[in-house]
Amino acid sequence: NYTYFMFTQALDLAWWKDYSFQCEPVDFSYTPRALQIARGCWYYFLLKIFDWLDTIFFVLRKKQSHVSFLHVYHHSGMAIITWICVKYLPGGHSTFIGLINTFVHSIIYTYYLLSSIKINMISWKKHITQLQMIQFFIVALHFTQLFWTHCGYPKWTAIFIIPQDVFMLVLFGDFYYNTYQRANSAVKSKMHRK
């Protein structure tokens, strides 16, 4: 799985070793490690383009039920944000988003794989959505640290990323409520009526 590979690369190149969870500047030098991290950011961007193409394939296959505002906004937004990071900040503090995101997507793609070979994974769906919501909370929390630490990473990224993650948390929370909580309430009330 390419996503899992990206996750292990982010750990190996940065987050397991030298990167500070408080505040990490971008290394704009031409050292082999800095170039490797920038290349990893570029590959992550390509991965987000691939995720975005998922939406286009849903439209082409006329699976409109899969194309929600949440789906389109999330995948389009990730592609745009990742491009900005690759272009202007290829490394540093924002790579934490890629670390967490590739971890979550590794679990999602494992779910898809197991479901495709007819292993009943329906109970995982709810927990995957919960994991995605936790991801947005952790990333927003991670970026708040830029307000009180000074390492050279631009603070404007926090002003942009935190509201974005809060909005994603609201969208995923709404999806979670409508898909799992409301559905369970409807089933329970139906059973009580019988």
Q: pLDDT tens across 53-74, in order? A: 878 887 788 777 778 888 888 8
The predicted structure's pLDDT at residue 54: 78
Q: How far is the C-alpha of 14 from the C-alpha of 92, rounded, in Å?
A: 9
**Lowest mean pLDDT across 2-6, 84-88, 102-106:** 2-6
Give the range among 41-45, 67-71, 91-95 with minimum mean pLDDT: 67-71
- Coil, helix or strand for 39? helix
Higher pLDDT, 188 or 116: 116
Convert the pLDDT of each residue in 114-165 to its tens digit: 888 888 877 888 999 999 999 999 999 999 999 999 999 999 999 999 999 9
For the chain, the structural domain boundaries read 2-193
What predicted TM-score, i.e. pTM, was given to this entire model?
A: 0.87
Does residue 108 surpass a pLDDT of 80?
yes
Report pLDDT for 189: 55
CA distance 114 to 127: 15
Question: Closest by alpha carbon to 172, among 110, 109, 128?
Answer: 128
CA 125 to CA 141: how far, in whole Å?
25
User: How confident is the model at residue 184, as a pLDDT?
Assistant: 63
pLDDT at 112: 85
Of the listed ranges 13-17, 86-90, 98-102, 179-183, the least confidently predicted one is 179-183
Mean pLDDT of the region 101-119: 89
Catalytic residue, candidates 66, 71, 74, 192:
74
Question: Phi/psi at 155 (nearest 5 deg)?
Answer: -70, -25
Average pLDDT of the chain, as a whole number: 89
Rounded to whole angstroms, the Cα distance separating 108 from 127 reads: 10
**Residue 7 CA to chain centroid, in angstroms?**
12
Identify whether 74 is a catalytic site residue: yes
Under the banding of pLDDT at 50, 70 and 90, the label for residue 190 is: low
